[in-house]
Every structure is written in C-alpha cells, then in structure tokens.
Structure 1
Amino acid sequence: MTSTALPAAVVVDGAYELAEGGRWVDGRYVYVDILSGRLFELRDDTEPAAPRELARLDVPLGAVAPVADQPGAWIAAAGTGIALLTPDGALEWLDRPEDRTPAPSRMNDGVADPAGRFWAGSMAYAGTRGAGSLYRTDPDGTVVRVLDGLTIANGPAFTPDGTTMYLADTADGTVLRCRVDPVSGDLSGVPETFAQLHDEEGSPDGMAVDEEGCLWVALWGAGAVRGYHPDGRLLHTLTVPAPHPTSVCLHPDDHRLYVTTARYGVKNPTAASGAVLSVPVPVRGTAACSWRRLRPATAA
C-alpha cells in the first residue's frame, strides 16, 4: 500500500455546502452542490479556474449524467426522483419514487453505465436506517427500484465493461460489489461486500473506477481517498486537506484526481472545505457515460 500526502491544490474555493457528483464530460469537469440544487462545469483549458453555473433547481440535485445525442441535456437525480434537465434549465420528471416512501427523503449520487442506463441512490433526510434505495432508469424512461434497505446510497461506479457495479452505503461503512447483466441491467446474485470500513477509517462516499479497473473511494470524515485493486487489496491512501471529501473523478487524459468536498458538518472550515481539489495520481480515468434515451417510433 502507498500512503501519501501529495499536495492537493484547491482548484475552486466555492464555499459549497455539499459539493458532489464530479464527472468528466466532453472535455470538462461537471459537479453539483446538492443542497442548493446547482450544477457547475469547469473547463480544463480555463486559467484561472472559473466554474460556470449550468443550472439552478428549486430541489436538491444529487448528480447528473449527459443525455446521448442531446447536447446540453442531462438526466438528473433530483428532489425525490429522476428527471430530464433541459438545456434551458427546465425539469421533465420521469418518476418521483421517493414521494411514496414513509420517511422524508431525497435522491443522492448517480451515474450512467456503459450500456446507457442511469443508476441513482436515495437517502432519508434524517438518515433513517434502511430507508434508502437504488434505482435504475432504463433507456425507455422506466424507473425501477433495484435494491432497498440501504441507508445512504452513494456511488455507484462501474467497470468499463459494465458488468460490475460498486455501491457504497455510507452509513454502514460498506462498499458492495454487484454483478450486472449488461443486456438487461438486472443484478446477478446477491451483492457481496467488497470493503468494510470501521468508524475511524471514515465512511465511503463517492467513487470512481480508473482505466485499470481499480476503485477510488472518497472517505467522508477521514480527509482521505483510497484506491483499491479489484481483488480488494488497498493500493493507495491519499490525504486531502478537508475532513469531508465527497466524490472523486479521474482525469481521462492527465494524471489528476478531482475531489469535491463539503462544508456541511465542519465546525471551522478552511478554503479546502466546500471546494474542488486536484491531486496528482499515477493513473487516469475514463469519461462519463451517457444515458441513451430511446426515442418513440414515429408513425409511418
């Protein structure tokens, strides 16, 4: 294992309450500030770094993925469900399943898989145990509850072939590994525990898989990011200057790891809390996948 305190540069000191969901999309870094419902982009060629606000919603925004062949459109885990976010900032709801749960809840992190489906988790505002779920949105817009009984569903992250999904339950300190049928999107068998963290190690939050298939995990409460081999071995521990890292994103063309962090729950925050950080790493990542929306057939 390599443990290091490589210098983490503050790329954006945004004073975000809960920055999350960092993804690399079309030559830019995209991320959200969950509780304020805002979506940002950061261009790789902008010096100094100047984030641009792409959307501002009146509900929390957990994560987005681009919609294939629709520039400027996103599928979003927002409020109590899944919606399409149009280029003009309007929401078109596909479903709001968390409206039908007993505990007041919201959507959390989400990502598109290589087959073009969108996966997103949920959580109760009060952190009620077992109140969170994982949902899959198929190309036809159908939203399916895939797993329930979670508490704070985070990630998910997919291997490049789409057959393996990693999913964190932050409150339980658990990273699950799920086998996915790339054709149907169904889970094969029971999810297995890939990593179990103890309280002093922090809680697994946002995750990403690098080009070599290794898993990178932001550790809320520990000021650290870990890198794991697919066989479960701990390869790297990176220290970051903020107690609550929330998501990780590996640059696909450079050896850089982007890390979002939170001010939420920090008594004496510095410029590194509620920020976007950059840390040098020995590997690269892959660009975010898109949700591949099926268009209705037109009448002859």
Structure 2
Amino acid sequence: MTHGRDDSPRHWFVTGATGGLGRNITEYALQQGDSVTATARRADGLDDLRKRYGDRLTVEVLDLSPPADVDTVISRVLAAHPVDVVVNNAGYALVGAAEEMSPDQIRDQIEVLLVAPMLITRAFLKPMREQGGGRIIQISSLGGQTTVPTHSGYHAGKWGLEGFTESVAQEVVDFGIHLTLVEIGATRTSFLSGMRFVEATPPYESTAVGRLRRDMRDADAGALLTGDPRKIAELVYATTRQSDPPLRLVLGEDSYEAIRTALTERLAALAPQKSVAASVRFTE
C-alpha cells in the first residue's frame, strides 16, 4: 500500500497516453519514480518510454469508442498491482453545428468524453476504497464551464463529466478517495490537429458556426496554444500529493479568464430572477 507515506512510489493508470498531455503526465510520473499503466489505441505508441523505464511502464491497448473493454483491461491491471492514481485524459473535439452531426458522431463524442471516464472511475472506486484511498484526475477544460458554437457535443461531454465528478467526489471522500477536475486552456499538444470536423452545410456557413469553423482552420495554432503540457503535468502530479486537493484546478490564463467571465455572467443573469423563482411557491 502506498497511502501511509506521502513520498512512497505509486502506480498510475493514464488513458490517452501516447501523445500530448497524457504522455507528459505519464513521463513525469515515471521520472518521479512511480510506475504507470498507460492506455493507447495502439501498442507501440510508447516504445521509447518502455525502453527507458522498463517494467515500470506497462502499455494496455484500449479503444474508448465505444469503451467496451474497460472492465477487462482494468481487471487485468488490478490483478497485477494496486492503482493509486487514475487519470482520465483521452478525448477529442467534434466540430460543427448540432444539426450537422450524425447520431453516430454524437454517440462517439459522448462515449469518449463522458461514458468512458464514468466507467473507468466506477471500476476503480471499490479497489481504492478497500485499499484506503486514491486519486482520480479528470482532464476537463475551460469547455467544461464555458461554451462556444460548433462544440455542443464536446461541451455536453465535459459539462457532464464535471457534474459526475462533483457528485462522486462527495460520495467517496469519507473513504480517502479524492477527485480533481483539471480545467486546462489551449495547450501546446496535438489536440487541435486531432479535432474532427463534421461535414459543413450551407445554412450555417454565414452564421457564427461557419465563422468560427473557418477561424479554427486558419488559425496559427502556435500563437493560440499557450499552455505548456510539461508544466501542467507537474502541477497535476503535485495535486496528487496534496492531502486536501482542490475539486477544480484551473490551468491557463485563458481558462481562468474564460471561466471567471462565464461564472460572473451566470450570477448576473441569476440575480434578477430571485423574485420570479420565489413566486412559484405554494401559498395557503
């Protein structure tokens, strides 16, 4: 067990670990002396880290669309060793108007961003409870608290993940299990290049959907992606060592400003409704 000492080696389970933030978190944990089970859609994506860290890194093939093999993979992992830290990182953004998205595209987006993290979180709760605690990191983004047109499926997944995590955190805190949502901004990873654009339709090309879609395709990604995934990985790791970690960890100036603006606007819109809200009360 690793919960008696703050500096003892731990075992991590990280999804979507072959690139971007997932790889940075995996590599940083290994550098600190921990071991990692990393999941990926192909087995050879982390060969360089396996050569460097040997048996401290295990790679499991896991496709989360749909997340049919979650229980099988996790059972195999837990049979080998306890897991102390889980990082639900895998994801992508589906870009387009809601009307343009096919039912299959919508289902796939929600399965990857919401259903898979729910199933993975659930699968680790019992073993973490029985071993006396654990950490679950949910990689969210400013898109879990804010919205833009073209990202309705993505927002549905991330907002859902935020609600799920906030609820579960209250259910398991008495068992020493802590959940943290990491709300990152634009980060210098392959996330933007991995966005999936749905087929555009003429009615939306002159609307906010069309304008934003063109901006995303034409943008200088280097100028937009100000977040350093290495620094994010370090802060995620530090959070897992805190005795009382935050429920939400906002990383990125853009994320902080966007979330602050969104929350401020929501409170401002709520305030005038106080008397209307009270007006539906039963009166004798």
TM-score, reference length from structure 1: 0.29
Rg: which structure is higher?
2
Structure number having the greater strand percentage: 1
Q: TM-score, normalised by structure 2?
A: 0.30
Which structure features the higher share of helix residues?
2
